[in-house]
Chain A
Amino acid sequence: MDALISLQSRTVVLPTRDIDTDQIIPARFLTTTSREGLGDALFHDLRYDQDGAVRAEFPLNDPATRDCEILVAGNNFGCGSSREHAPWALVDYGFRAVISTEFADIFRNNALKNGLLPIVVDADTHDWLIAHPGAELGINVEASSLELPDGRIIEYPIDAFARYCLTRGIDQLGYLQQQSAAVATFEETRSWKP
């Protein structure tokens, strides 16, 4: 995964709350055996109508948003299924950060493993961001902070280990493999065996 150290981008805003993983990528696109190329399927049924025509009113279909790397979404983004295809599709499309007031647990875990930063902000900041699509934001991942256009700096919470991996582009499998001696001891000494 690519390291994410800082990010400067305008936002695109999807104000709906509880955007579930079926909206992010519908199940019929999950028959792939690759992680690549899912950007076309991102928000597919919101971007296109049933005849395949572009829904002009959907914010991602505004050409001015095409290079936005920050998505601002309504409360509780990513609820529903465990499909990692959701962050794969968001990253493939070009997003590197999603801002909401809350993320579903599995989505947040999956996002962080793919270089996609989930940023939780307070309700007031969120309201402002929702009301100002296209706002230019700066994100400093090492400092866990977000800079608003008026210069205000807002710190956001992030797991220290996830931040470490994200800023260095480290995948966590290597770290787990280093624990193999402890795992072997655990397997031998536990009081019952599965």
Chain B
Amino acid sequence: MPNARTLVEKVWAEHVVVPETAAAPAVLYIDLHLIHEVTTPQAFALLRERGLPVRRPDLTLATMDHSTPTTPVTSLRDIDVVSESAANQIRQMVRNCRDFGIDLLGFGSEQRGIVHVIGPELGASQPGKTIVCGDSHTSTHGAFGALAFGIGTTEVGHVLATQCLLQREPRSLAVNVSGHLPAGVTAKDLILAIIREIGVDGGTGHVIEYRGEAVRALDMEARMTICNMSIEAGARAGLIGPDDTTIEYLAGRPRVPQGVAWDAAVSRWRGLRSDEDAEFDRSVAIDASQLQPMVTFGTNPGMVVGIDEPVPDLSDASFRKALEYMQVTPGKPMSENPVDVVFVGSCTNGRLSDLQQAADILRGRTIADGVRMLVVPGSQQVKQRAEELGLHRIFTGAGAEWRESGCSMCLGMNGDTVASGQLSVSTSNRNFEGRQGIGARTVLASPATAAASAVMGRVADPRGLK
């Protein structure tokens, strides 16, 4: 078929307002603009300076998640923010949304949460849409077959003012995952294995399409975990073609089309897949059935080993520097390392099924002496649902802290930090030096591995605790 196209090419073509030429990038229309308090103040300031309105406030959805406290808050007045500048940023967000007519899911809203958790939860993230946000983990929404990518603050201003971006068409990378994930091995383990395979810069300039039977078998929350970390392989975005799983997840959510419009949308979504003969610029194959629980050992998300495998040994200076920072010994497995802190949460693993995974390990157990464990739901709705299921009692009963929603210890900008030198097993997405706090040592893992590590007091294989 000569005109066979990939899913990305189809979504791209549907949103081109002005085609790209050698002299200028394409003008690409954006269907959904998600905004939060950290990467927008300077963009709104520019709009004010130039007297510009927001072109489509109805296609813009705002929340507050990055610098917000995860201790209980009932009103803006009694909010205990980490610093005056963070409090000012939050106040500016409230004012900007009010002045520009943007729907803000702020404090007091039961729909507040991490921007990449609430978009899907509300049904705003839909197949075939272009979705952007001033946050690199916008790739999460690709789980729905949307073209979703992170942008900088200048581009946030472009979208607010014009609902468009200047973009060159991306290249395509197919990640074909065959087989089935073994018991006790999760989507997080799969994406860590994929990043190890591709490398942290292997996806640069590309959009990844995750394909194959192992991907098809994943539920939507697991697919979001996969797409979320596309950026950690350097990719501009990652997506998965919509199918019955996608449509069942979206049905009945508040922001999906209603009535006959729903039927029309579903029939359009069913056509959204890469044609059988579509050619990708590159492709990578992974066999899911060979995987085990995966953990990081270094200071980027491509430095990954299986829980049983020894940490590799390379002479490269950057590699040596990473191991030295992590105080990790080459040739030994990560399971020898004692744990100080465990964090379950983030836009990668802060959804209900992630909390259930952790709770399944913790049920009837307690966390090891000296370990601090923080469980931070991805949204207020996730929190409410978890409490209805009694998960919070399992966490607090095991000795963990149960918090309000937010980005929290993933990047530690709200005061939830890991102390210098401490080792943290975290379900988040980045193990960069200092990411969770100055001098903090981060080991990325699945919620099951994180919970098992909390129980054992060292990096631990959850399969031993089932």
Contact = CB atoms under 8 A, between A and B. Distances in A.
Interface of A: 15-18, 20, 22-23, 26-28, 30-35, 45, 50, 74-76, 79-84, 102-106, 109-110, 113-114, 159-161, 164, 171-173, 175-177, 179-180, 182-183, 186-187, 190-192, 194
B39 A28 contact: no
A179 B18 CA distance: 8
Given A75-B201, A84-B39, A179-B164, A27 B151 contact: no
Nearest to B201: A76
Given A33-B45, A80-B136, A106-B151, A176 B204 contact: no
Contact of B201 (A18, A177, A179): A18
A186 B321 contact: no
Interface in B136-193: 136, 138, 150-155, 157-158, 161-166, 168
Interface in B183-223: 200-201, 204-205
A82 B92 contact: no
Contact of B168 (A33, A76, A106, A159): A159
A26 B430 CA distance: 13
A186 B59 CA distance: 15
A82 B139 CA distance: 12
A80 B82 CA distance: 24
Contacts of B231: 80
A159 B435 CA distance: 32
B265 A192 contact: yes
B23 interface: yes
Q: Is the interface of A mostly helix, strand, loop or mixed?
A: loop
Contacts of B138: 82
B99 to A, nearest CB: 14
Interface centre among A105, A172, A183 (most CB of B within 10 A): A105
Given A82-B151, A106-B151, A183 B17 contact: yes
B38 interface: yes
Contacts of B31: 194
Nearest to B85: A31
Contacts of B162: 173, 176-177, 179-180, 183
A110 B265 CA distance: 35
Contacts of B82: 31
Given A15-B317, A80-B432, A109 B438 contact: no
25 contacts: A15-B317, A22-B433, A26-B438, A28-B413, A31-B38, A31-B89, A33-B88, A34-B41, A81-B135, A82-B138, A82-B151, A83-B38, A104-B234, A105-B236, A106-B150, A113-B155, A161-B24, A172-B158, A182-B17, A183-B17, A183-B163, A190-B29, A192-B268, A194-B31, A194-B32
Given A16-B318, A76-B234, A180-B162, A50 B420 contact: yes
Interface residues of B, number: 75
A151 B134 CA distance: 42
B434 interface: yes
Contacts of A79: 200-201, 234, 300
B412 A76 contact: no
B249 to A, nearest CB: 18
A30 to B, nearest CB: 5
Nearest to A81: B136
Nearest first, the 7 A-B pairs at minimum CB distance are A194-B31, A33-B41, A84-B152, A110-B152, A82-B150, A76-B201, A31-B85
A194 B129 contact: yes
Q: Which of B88, B152, B231 counts the most A-chain CB atoms under 10 A from its CB?
A: B152
Contacts of B25: 159, 161
Interface in B2-52: 14, 17-18, 22-25, 27, 29, 31-32, 38-39, 41-42, 45-46, 50
Contacts of A20: 300, 430, 432
